[in-house]
Amino acid sequence: MQVDLLAGTGHRPFACPRPRPAILVFDSGLGGLSVLSRTTAACAGADIVYAADDAGFPYGRLSEDALVARVLAVMERLVARFHPDLVVIACNTASTLVLPALRARFAIPFVGTVPAIKPAAAATLSGMISVLATPGTVARDYTRELIEAYAGHCEVALVGSTRLAGLAEQALRGEPVDDAALMAEIAPCFIEAAGRRTDVVTLSCTHYPLLLERMRRLAPWPVAWLDPAPAIARRVAQLLGTADPAPAPCPEAVAVFTSGAGLSGPLRIALAAYGLARIAIEPMPLTN
């Protein structure tokens, strides 16, 4: 299998049929907001839809078969409703598995989010890197292939966190998240052996950059935390031909949720801070 760090679309820059491209940014929940902010900054003037499959959250616990079926079903609805020109799968757990099925099913380009193992291997001085991700992402063949292809000379710790994505959601909703809970999730990333220690941690779940400042503060020693969002945003801009955007008024973006549950006041405020003032509910209960 050919490994493409950005889970590249296989598409060259294409002629977008509309003067203002429509970009759908998709995640299981709120983590994709860390990619959304970079993407909107790189693609000023694009119409943005942010879709959170919160009925399926967290994806990290779903079997591979269930996850492929779920993402295809949800995408079917979203594409029919919003007609995006390009979709960003702002979710490592989904991208490391579902991109081939999405590209086979839909004619539009999909840009994925996958663990930044190549940049981590290039950046480490100690040769010790940690991949902090969901249990789904650390178990993927795709992740192991990235390590074999790019980080054969490194010691790579795969750290599957069951709680961190949920804690990020809690924090964004304005609910308290205590330091001990965060520390317990990130502690396995920090390894010391034979006079060397981990110096790079990849944030391989899009929820984790939402907690970056707190993780920096709690880290037992300083490390480089790699967030792939800037590279994803550059790739989207390149594909849409908006890499050098003229300043344009930011159109009103919309956020879609699949659970049908109401959104709290603090969450609405947090979404508005990402430019998502309009909320749409597209209920799609998880059936398996």
Query: Minimum CB separation from ligand DGL for residue 26, in Å?
Result: 10
**If we measure between CA atoms, which residue out of 276, 282, 273, 286 comes closest to residue 25?**
276
Give the distance, in angstroms, between the CA of residue 79 and the centroid of all CA atoms in the same chain.
Answer: 19
Q: Judged by CB under 6 A, which stretch of 26-34, 63-71, 98-106, 231-239 contacts ligand DGL?
A: 26-34
Please list the active-site residues: 91, 205
Instruction: Name which position in 198, 206, 242, 259 contacts ligand DGL (CB under 6 A).
Output: 206
CA dihedral 141, 142, 147, 149 (to 10 degrees): 110
Cα distance between residue 128 and residue 110, in whole Å: 32
Q: Is 205 in the site for ligand DGL (CB under 6 A)?
A: yes
Residue (109 or 166) nearer to ligand DGL, CB: 166
Cα distance between residue 159 and residue 189, in whole Å: 6
Look up residue 267 and give its amino acid.
Answer: L
Query: Minimum CB separation from ligand DGL for residue 13, in Å?
Result: 25
Instruction: Name which position in 40, 137, 161, 198 contacts ligand DGL (CB under 6 A).
Output: 137
Query: Minimum CB separation from ligand DGL for residue 151, in Å?
Result: 19
- Backbone angles phi and psi of 173, in degrees to 5: -80, 0
Total Cβ atoms within 10 A of residue 286 = 16
Q: Is 259 in the site for ligand DGL (CB under 6 A)?
A: no
Q: Judged by CB under 6 A, which stretch of 16-24, 85-93, 103-111, 189-197 contacts ligand DGL?
A: 85-93
Instruction: Name which position in 7, 9, 36, 60 contacts ligand DGL (CB under 6 A).
Output: 60
Q: Is 71 in the site for ligand DGL (CB under 6 A)?
A: no
SS3 60: helix
Q: Is 27 in the site for ligand DGL (CB under 6 A)?
A: yes
**If we measure between CA atoms, which residue out of 81, 7, 1 comes closest to residue 235?**
7
Query: Minimum CB separation from ligand DGL for residue 202, in Å?
Result: 11
SS3 40: helix
Which residues form the interface with ligand DGL (CB under 6 A)?
A: 27-29, 31, 57-60, 91-93, 134, 137, 165, 205-207
